[in-house]
Structure 1
């Protein structure tokens, strides 16, 4: 494949990862309403405690805030294409930790149903791409 043939798939993967992660953040702040996965921060904290059952409660709460912070930063970086490789690796590791925690706490089916493994794999695939068209990275490396 030539660079011309894979510009759109690279861009699509970058945007899909970013929008998906930002949607999860929007949910925990109540933007998707009551019928969503969490609907509010309290429900998200309770879910995080369930997934991080192996941590003390204080660290579980800290992990909810840390995950949210990184689930805002990495997707914003992906959206604009700034430090894309770093953001993609960060998103990949974040989603991998989430997938592993879901699997340990809820079983493999939960992580498969939410396609967390696919998101992590996609992020790692994006991270190893040689170029990121339609991005700040591309503009600054010309």
Structure 2
């Protein structure tokens, strides 16, 4: 029974973290707690951690990352294809962490707990018991 609550906590923590980061990109957090505060600052940060990418595709890369974070967050909140979207979330955050490590230093990925969040997402993908998930409703049919 405890694993059900751990799984729910992981789903909520990962999905709400994604949504919080997205909200920050669109200026929805107060300036005193914001990391980016606006879309252009996020695009600039995307360029900073992806210096090997052509400048012309950085805005698209920022957009793809944002769309993925919104979709993954919603699917995890609903518990739709949880195992799949937990794995995809782990991969996305690992790419982010490695991009940070190779561009601005390993410390940044640890300071912002991106490696930890990636590991948590991969851990979530291993919890098979359904709890408050759309997938659990489908399994009962």
| TM-score bracket for this pair, using the shorter chain length | over 0.9
Q: How does 1:72-111 map to 2 (within 5 A)?
A: 72-111=70-109
Aligned to 1:27: 24
Q: Count the aligned residue pairs.
A: 139
Alignment RMSD (CA, Å): 0.8
Instruction: State the 1:129 CA deviation.
Output: 1.6
Give structure 2 stretches of 5+ with no counterpart.
none
| Other structure's SS at 2:11 match | helix
Which digits, 9 at most, give the CA deviation of each residue in 1:71-110, with x for residues without a partner?
1000100001011111101110100000000001110111
TM-score, normalised with respect to structure 2: 0.95
Aligned to 1:42: 40
Aligned to 2:50: 52
TM-score, normalised with respect to structure 1: 0.95
Q: Given that residues 3 and 127 in structure 2 are in contact (C-alpha distance below 8 angstroms), is that contact kept between their aligned partners in structure 1?
A: no
CA distance in 1, matches of 2:53, 2:136: 41
Corresponding position: 1:61 with 2:56: no
